[in-house]
Chain A
Amino acid sequence: MARDLSLRLEELAHGLVGPLILGGTAHLVAPLGPELAFELGVGRRISDDDLRSRIDLARVRQARAIAPIDTLPDISPGEWALIAALNDLLQATNHELSSPFTRGRHITLLDTTERLLAAIEGPRTTIEAIVRHATFARIFELERTDTLVSAWAGTIDYRGQEPEKSMTFWPGLRRVRVDPRKVPIQAMADGFDALPTARYVQLLTELVSRSPLTDFATIERTSPPFAWTRATLELVSYPTGRTLASRALSKLHSQQVLTVLQAATRALPPSGPARPIAESFSKEIVERATATRA
């Protein structure tokens, strides 16, 4: 079993973690489920030294953008569980996962991913917040290329796959038209009947909220919109966390950041401890933006 888990971890590292951090083509692994996801990173690390060192280098580069840090700990079991959750969530959008008789697999996978995410807590320390951001900073850069191939006989949409050669030969004679389009991570469930889009986006939001610095660093995203979560509020509730969050926001367009933050703050209940924290952080960001402009 231990050997099997090591193999799965290595598979996940090469297929998803490497491309997510270093860029390149990501290949999903078979769904892992909550139990395996939590065991995966316990006492294990990536055995491919070259890949591990390149990943470490890229993570440190991300981390140094917000904190003066030279080394990062290895990917923790909690991060591996989050990576497994991302794998399962993306696998749920894979039409190849099921046949016409097993379409329920997609919903099942969303259910298990929801359970898994519910079991993963937000970062407990500042370094953990930085480490998670170092790993998931590029999550919204992940994209899929769908290709619409039109020919005289009909149209086929290839989701995340290269069109078959039989569909594209004799392009002139068969009036073949190949129309590739990029699909961002938040739209990967769009147009897929077996998967409710709203739930997929909700789970993606949950996943991103487990890395609050990433949540702040991608605040300009259109979907899913930024909303205050327990993890982001915890981060800005103490000075060091607030500094890191404001550094993550400092590279973004200040006016847009302020608009999003104020909208998210307005969505919080007027009474309760969350709103004053959010308001004070928004105020701090406004002051910094004013001071920078001055």
Chain B
Amino acid sequence: MLVRVALHQTRLRTPGLGLDAKGVALGSKGVVLLPSLDRLVAFLALFTRQSSLEDILRSMKVEIVKSKLGAREVVISLAAEGSDRMDKVAEIARLAGGFTFTGTTRHFVQYRDGGAPFGYDVAELLAQDASYALYHTSFSQVYTVDRPIEVRSLLLRLEPQLDPSTADEPGPKWICAEKGLGPALISYFVRSNVDADVGLAEWAAESSFDEGPVQRYLFRVEQIPDRMRPLLTSTPGIAVFQPVTEGVGVQLGFRHPVNLRACPVFARDGLVLFRGGDEPLEIPTLPALGPVTAFARVELREDVSTARTQATTVSRPANIQLTLRMVPTTDPWRGVTASWVRPDEMRLLRRMAYLLGAETLRRATVAFTEHGAFVRLTSGVEAIPVGEFFREVHPGLFVPAGYDPLPAVSPDVLHKSIGAPQNVVLFVGRDARVIGIDGAAFVSLESALLEAQDWALLPAGAIEPALATEVPRLVLESPGFRPMRDIGPGGGDEGG
């Protein structure tokens, strides 16, 4: 049914199939046919190990399809974009036991392979109205769509696999504790001076027989001390989760089969916690989180109310609130870890980027806003001498280097007075105007710098024979009739 597309061929029979710049037969869509759901999971797992689903997710559609004989298979359709993307998809599909096709509407021919480097065209179209007519060198089959599959719900249904190597991973953690254990855990953290935030998440009752909504305590801990780890991971009712990407956590000791970092399907303002051996916990919107220190035991003095009364009765100004101002200071600069590169200095930043060392590029982060670029480098932003320098006076709060806030309140108080959420990075300008930037907007400087590069795959096969030369081996065979005929007269054929 299929014919190979020849070099310089211009006309193709398959509707919607054209030739790209390299001469490869390509439609606007690519289709991957997989025999079962587990192969689909394998495909996703393999794909996300190498690259992000973000590029293809917008156009990706996963459907269960049914052949005329009733067999159900899985079809992934996605925008083909170009043969580079399709080559990668085809390679991964082949590894996952699937076939790759390309086309535009309904008729999809097999994507190019080693046998046909320019792809295939169909000799005769199938006269069917089915959603997919797939033409392969070994079969031609039509499929109707049975039902669609949402990638998000598929990922939620996949159970995490045991992976003890994740148990000791450092970094921030989410902890989910049953309601009864929450207060004990809070006081434990307060006693142990662990820097943690706590919130109370609520899930609707599963049935009318439940007493009410299910409540669980949710903790965000920057760093769990090693001594607490065994207790937290082994206590029933407490589960520790490793954040794998924004809004997603996987229980310690487990690993999700698909690389969730490469699957931007979960809302960033919510939280999904994948539990090993149990259903995932989904929180559509993060509950309000506050520091556990707010729950520390308080003791009230008897004379407090009296003192306050006295104060109010003596002289209390109507309003003592002051406008924040920034004033120059002669104190030495410390902790200068950010700079604000205004739009007119962006060209200088670009030129400077060529001179920066690899380590600086790797460690620096940058956020681009309409007011310019904000560069952060924890080891000291002096390495990037562009823009106005800022020093970090409080986690997430920067003031201009060489300036101090007036009134001289503590940075903690200043931060609280601004009242910004925790993940917002604040820059207080010399004019005391505050600019807030979402912490997620800061990306690595090295990844922000480079434009997409043109590249081409060079065949590496030519060097291979040179490195794997065989040993010359002699085999002895009969030299044939009258072997000594060329030796000349008396060549020994007369015998001896």
Interface-lining segment among B81-89, B453-461, B481-489: B481-489
B484 near A109 (CB under 8 angstroms)? yes
A101 contacts B495, CB within 8 Å? yes
Would you call B452 an interface residue if the criterion is a C-beta within 8 Å of the partner chain's C-beta atoms?
no
CA distance A31 to B470 in the complex (A): 26
* In the complex, B419 has a CB within 8 A of chain A: no
* B493–A91 touching, CB < 8 Å: no
Q: Is the CB of B486 within 8 A of A33?
A: yes
Could you tell me the dominant secondary structure of chain B's interface residues? loop
> Is B473 in contact with A91, judged by CB distance below 8 angstroms?
no
What is the CA–CA distance of A53 and B474 in the complex, to the nearest angstrom? 23
B471 at the interface (CB under 8 A from A): yes
Say yes or no: A161 contacts B476, CB within 8 Å: yes
- A28 CB to closest chain B CB, in angstroms? 7
Number of B interface residues, CB 8 Å? 27
Bound CA–CA A107/B494 (angstroms): 13
Instruction: Give A14 Cβ to nearest chain B Cβ, in Å.
Output: 13
User: What is the CB-to-nearest-CB distance from A99 to chain B, in angstroms, rounded to a whole number?
Assistant: 8
Smallest distance from the beta carbon of A199 to chain B beta carbons, Å? 15
Is the C-beta of B475 less than 8 angstroms from some C-beta in chain A?
yes
With a cutoff of 8 Å between Cβ atoms, the chain B residues found around residue A105 in the complex are 483-484, 491-493, 496
Within 8 A of B (CB), among A11-47: 19-20, 22-33, 35-36
**Is B477 part of the contact surface with A, judged by Cβ < 8 Å?**
yes
B475, A97: Cβ atoms closer than 8 Å: no
Residues in A with CB closer than 8 Å to B475 are 25-27, 144, 160-161
| B7 part of interface (Cβ distance < 8 Å) | no
Docked-complex contact A97 and B473, CB < 8 angstroms: no
Instruction: List chain B residues, Cβ under 8 A from A29.
Output: 479
Select the residue from A24, A31, A143 with max chain B CB neighbours within 10 A.
Answer: A31
Chain B residues whose C-beta falls within 8 Å of the C-beta of A95 in the assembled complex? 476
Is B495 in contact with A104, judged by CB distance below 8 angstroms?
Answer: yes
Of residues 121 through 172 on chain B, the ones whose CB sits less than 8 Å from some CB of chain A are: none
Instruction: Give the shortest distance, in Å, between A157 (CB) and chain B (any CB).
Output: 12
User: Is A242 on the interface with B (CB-CB < 8 A)?
Assistant: no
Tell me whether A25 and B473 are in contact in the complex, defined as CB-CB below 8 angstroms, given that A33-B488, A105-B493, A108-B492 are known contacts. Answer: yes
- B487, A109: Cβ atoms closer than 8 Å: yes
Complex CA gap A26/B474 in Å reads: 5
Given that A61-B466, A108-B487 are known contacts, is A143 also in contact with B496, CB under 8 Å in the complex? no
How distant is A167 from chain B, measured CB to nearest CB, in Å?
17
Contact (Cβ within 8 A) B476 A96: yes
Instruction: Chain A residues near B479: list those with CB within 8 A.
Output: 28-31, 91, 94, 96-97
The 9 lowest CB-CB distance pairs between A and B, nearest first, are: A104-B496, A23-B470, A160-B476, A108-B492, A105-B492, A33-B487, A102-B495, A96-B478, A144-B474
Q: Which residues of B contact A (CB under 8 A)?
A: 465-466, 469-480, 483-488, 490-496
